Each structure stands twice: as structure tokens, then as C-alpha cells.
Structure 1
Amino acid sequence: MTEKTGTFLVTEADAESAILRDVETGQIHTLSEHDDYERLDVVGATLEAEPPMEVVWTVVEESYRRTVELVDSDLSPTQQAMEIAESQSAGELERVERAGTGEIHVLSVPPAQVDDAVEDVLADEETIARAARVGAVRVEVRSDADAGVLNVRYLPD
């Protein structure tokens, strides 16, 4: 039987089944049953394909399950983010590794579109998948509408 160990994002869940997406590869796994998974849960687990066709999976072992907190912060972007944004054109993104765990993104957008960009980042399922990939449990979005800057911070515990 085929086994797969990884970090998965629950993209769909109902009483009978759930769909998990591997956050590293994007591979989709349909579970025949699950233990109360909810959409957008992040699950570290080992899955096993069910015979004979191996198209449905079962959770063999779950190492962790968590949700990622998404925050629209009232705080301004950090000094570092503002300095990075100064050299960017609208539409550009720069990723910066955090000391330890996590990641920081600096996005430059037209000032009139900052509020929409913040909403887009917080509503995007991929924001949670990225948080899962970098080991973050909290995503904090800071913005400055006048400067056209978004500072997306993927933070650990």
C-alpha cells in the first residue's frame, strides 16, 4: 500500500469525507473518513491509500492539527518592510526569511488598492498553505495605504 507523510491543508470537509492538499506538492488526497476535520485545518499526518484502486486515503497517524490565525493588524509595516518597499514597483513582492521560523513578505501595491489587497491576502487559501509550509501558526497583515505597502508576517508560536 502507498503511504504519504506530510503537512496537509483541509480544503473541503463534510460529515462523511474530507479533501486534503499536500502543502508542498499540491497533491490532493480524498479521505474516506476523518476525525472532525474542518475546512482550512492544517494537519501533519501519515496517509495510506486504500486498496484496491488506491484513490481514497485513510489517516494512519496524525502528528498535529492546528488552525492558522489570520490577523488584519492595526500596526504599521515594520521599518525593514518600508525600506524594502522603497525600492519596489507596484505589483512587486519580496520574501524575507525570519530569524528562526516563519517568513515575511513585502508587497507594493497602488495606494488605492491597499484595502482590497489586504482582504485578498486574508481570504486566499494559499496564505494558509504557505503558513503551513513555513511552520507558522499566525499570519499578520500590516499595511500603509499612503505608501502602498503590505507587510505579511508568517509567525511561529
Structure 2
Amino acid sequence: MTTETESTFLITHAEADTAVLTDVHSGQVHTLSDNPGVEENDVVEGTVAPEPPMNVTWQIIDIEERRTIPIERGEEPPTAQERELAADQPVGEITRRERAGTGEIHVLTVEPDDTEGVVADVINDDATRTRAARLGVDRVELRSDPDAGVVSVRYLP
């Protein structure tokens, strides 16, 4: 028998009468039997439980916190350290570094002509928001240098 699940969830789809959320830790997907007012891309910390009698849909029984995590394009270029990391790795590779305190920085080396497309892909990728929710950060900032083929994804408190 399935029981209640307490976790952090990303709302990946929302309509007036239903919503779909994903547990950012386990990846489990839950379809809600109704929408308690959540919107796509919301992050909800709370508890879900199966909806009786068939237990095939879920309901949110407690919301401890509801927030959004903005993913923004920064005006600043990648830092010197980020550019050095990118220079030391082949195109298509990524380096992940923990930030002092909370968060992470990901440095991607891309073809210079693909830089803008990669930035757009990262902004629109549910995995970016899922990682941000799992890390417990407040925002995500992308910096890019099209001339060098560098994209940095900064998960920030």
C-alpha cells in the first residue's frame, strides 16, 4: 500500500482541475486529482497522499512552502575562474563545483556558435529547476561568453 510522501516537488504541468508534480529527490511523478492552486514551475515543499479509493491519483495534503525559482540570464560574463575551467575541458563537457555555502556552479564548454542555443535550452529545461529545488537555492543565473563558447549556470542562495 502506498503511503504519504513528504518532499520537495516541482510542478511540471498545471491546469485548472489537475496538476502534475515531480519529487525532486526521487524523480517520482504524481498526478493530482485536483489543483489546489499551484502553477507550472512552482516548487512546493509538502506532503502528498494517494487519493482513495483507487489510489491512482494523488492529493496535496499539506503545503509547508510554495515558491518559484527564477532562472535568469545575467548581464555579467562568466568569471575568470569559470572561463579557465572551460578552457581546460573539451567542447561538450561540464564541470560542477560547489559554491561556498549553498549552491553550485556548472561550467559548460560549447561551440561558440551554439552558445545562445545552449543558454535557451538550460533556461527551458525542467532539470535546471529540479536541481535548483533539490539544492534549496533561491535563483539560477546563467552567464555566457559566445566568443569563448562558455556557459556558466550559477545556482544561488
**Same fold (TM > 0.5):** yes
Per the alignment, residue 12 of structure 1 pairs with: 13
Aligned pairs (5 A) from 1:56-135: 56-135=57-136
Distance in 1 (alpha carbons) for counterparts of 2:80 and 2:40: 35
Counterpart secondary structure, 1:16: coil
Per the alignment, residue 53 of structure 1 pairs with: 54
Instruction: Kindly provide the amino acid, as one letter, of the partner of residue 62 in structure 2.
Output: E
Distance in 2 (alpha carbons) for counterparts of 1:123 and 1:17: 22
Deviations 1:58-87 (CA, angstroms, capped at 9, x unpaired): 111111111111111120101221121121
Instruction: Kindly provide the amino acid, as one letter, of the partner of residue 26 in structure 1.
Output: G
Distance in 2 (alpha carbons) for counterparts of 1:2 and 1:56: 12
Counterpart secondary structure, 2:12: strand
Does the 8 Å contact 1:10/1:39 carry over to 2? yes
Instruction: Kindly provide the amino acid, as one letter, of the partner of residue 107 in structure 1.
Output: L
- Stretches of 4+ moved more than 4 A in 1? none
Structure 1 stretch displaced more, 61-70 or 49-58 = 49-58
Shift of 1:35: 2.2
5+ long unaligned stretches in structure 2: none
Distance in 2 (alpha carbons) for counterparts of 1:61 and 1:78: 41
Per the alignment, residue 36 of structure 1 pairs with: 37
Counterpart secondary structure, 1:51: coil
Instruction: Kindly provide the amino acid, as one letter, of the partner of residue 66 in structure 1.
Output: R
Number of aligned pairs?
A: 156
